[in-house]
Amino acid sequence: MSVTAEKVAEVLALPEQDRAYLARQLIASLDDGVDADAENEWNEVIDRRSREIEAGKVTCRPVEQAVRDIRAKLDARRQPS
């Protein structure tokens, strides 16, 4: 079965919420499986970071600020020297 331009146009015409759901389903269908080691390692990182936050060892900042800073760093890297 091939994907035609008509099928793509039909999908792109769906409401945003439906397109997001479809995108998640498509991405999930490409995943061959869960890497148990990676999953365990990420859970350990999440647990450790949560303890650090609760203990006041780290300072949190709004996600908007973090994203803004990351974008600025990426933009700076893209600039010719």
Residue 60 contacts by C-beta under 8 Å, 6 or more apart in sequence? Answer: 53
Please give the pLDDT value at position 1.
60
Please give the pLDDT value at position 35.
79
Please give the pLDDT value at position 69.
96
Please give the pLDDT value at position 70.
96
Please give the pLDDT value at position 32.
73
Please, where are the H alpha helices in 13-62?
A: 16-30, 36-54
Low-confidence stretches of the chain (pLDDT < 70) are 1, 81
Measuring CA to CA, which residue among 36, 20, 16 is closest to residue 28? 20
pTM equals: 0.45
Domain parsing of the chain, residue ranges: 36-78
Please give the pLDDT value at position 41.
94
